[in-house]
Amino acid sequence: MKWSGLYLVGYGVFLIGALLALWKMGVLASIGPVWTAIGVIIAIGLREQILRFAQDDRGKGCPHTSSATHRIDHRDTVGDG
């Protein structure tokens, strides 16, 4: 999780740069503001999915689940009798 802040900053810079490049080429003017907004929302969603995948890949699990839902009973399972 320590690199996620840097990742989010880098992704934001990339997204802003891509939008500025499309605006400068006139692409955003031809597709309109509604489709531009839809594309930005999709790009933000992709960022979230990539970030979640990166967290799962490091073995930390999904950030939406708490450790309380995955408790393991460490008591001895062998009984006395």
* Amino acid type, 53: F
Instruction: Indicate the average pLDDT of the chain.
Output: 75
Of 15, 36, 37, nearest in space to 27 by CA: 36
Write out the H or E segment, with its range, that includes residue 3. Answer: none
User: Are residues 7 and 32 in contact, defined by beta-carbon separation less than 8 angstroms?
Assistant: no
Nearest-5° Cα angle at 21, 9 to 6: 10
15-52 pLDDT, tens digit each:
899 999 999 999 888 988 898 899 889 988 888 887 77
Kindly write down the DSSP assignment for every residue of 4-73, as one continuous string: HHHHHHHHHHHHHHHHHHHHHHTHHHHH-HHHHHHHHHHHHHHHHHHHHHHHHHTT---TTS-GGGG---
pTM > 0.75: yes or no: no
